[in-house]
Structure 1
Amino acid sequence: MPIIISKGQELYPELAAFMGGWFHQDFDIHGDSLEEVVAAFKAESDPDLIRPLVDDIDAFLSSGDEGMDARFQELFNPDIIPTAFRPTTREFLVAIREELIAERS
């Protein structure tokens, strides 16, 4: 049986995996906020996974703002609504990016 790879997995594999693994319908098992979910990801993941994920976020963001919400939905088919966390999909992704690169003491 062939493996089916979505367009999101093909273009942005780390972002697709992150969305499916951390911002799914039961995301709240990892926390109640974007910050808590990203902190749980960082705590449970190999640090070498952060840079490729940030790179995928940057690549998606650079694809332009026009139609971003629809493109995000089409590519990642998320179980969550990004605008439930931030006013726009762009702000949602930027907030994730900032949390990923933030140094915690």
Structure 2
Amino acid sequence: MHELFGAYFNQDFDLWGNTIPEIISCYKRDSPRDYHYEMIKEINLFMDEHPVDLDSAFEKNYNNGFYPKLWGHTTASFLNELKWLLSQ
């Protein structure tokens, strides 16, 4: 997840797109399909490890200038959208 958030979902996210689907599309284009499934597993593991402190854990671990709330998401809904987009 560090690669995804460090490179694609940071303060310069607009280099990759203006929407979450556009950004994920760039990530998918730049990485092998196996990585997409590994990312889904990593997101699931992260969510499972932080059932009651997901927001604070996400901010602590992956805050690179990208805030899901500014995109109309909770942390959980944002991560669920990422998983869905990565699975397509």
Q: TM-score, normalised by structure 1?
A: 0.77
Find the structure with the greater CA-based Rg.
1
Q: Which runs of 4+ in 1 moved over 2 A?
A: none
Deviation of 1:79 after TM superposition, in Å, equals 1.6
Residue matched to 1:41: 27
How many residues of Structure 1 are paired with residues of Structure 2 in the alignment?
A: 88
Q: Is the 8 A contact 2:50 2:57 kept in 1?
A: no
CA distance in 2: counterparts of 1:95 and 1:85, whole angstroms: 12
Q: Does 2:65 correspond to 1:85?
A: no
Offset at 1:98? 0.2
Relative contact order (C-alpha < 8 Å, sep 6+): which is higher? 2
**Equivalent residues in 2 for 1:1-80 (5 A)?**
15-80=1-66
Which structure shows the bigger proportion of residues in helix conformation? 2
Q: Is the 8 A contact 1:65 1:90 kept in 2?
A: no
Q: Shift of the alpha carbon at 1:24?
A: 1.0
Unaligned runs of 5+ in 1: 1-14
> Between the two proteins, what is the percent identity of the paired residues?
25
CA deviation string 1:42-96 (max 9, x = no partner) = 1121212111111100101112432211111112232210112243000000001
Gaps spanning 5+ residues in structure 2: where?
A: none
Q: Please, what TM-score do these two structures have when normalized by structure 2?
A: 0.90
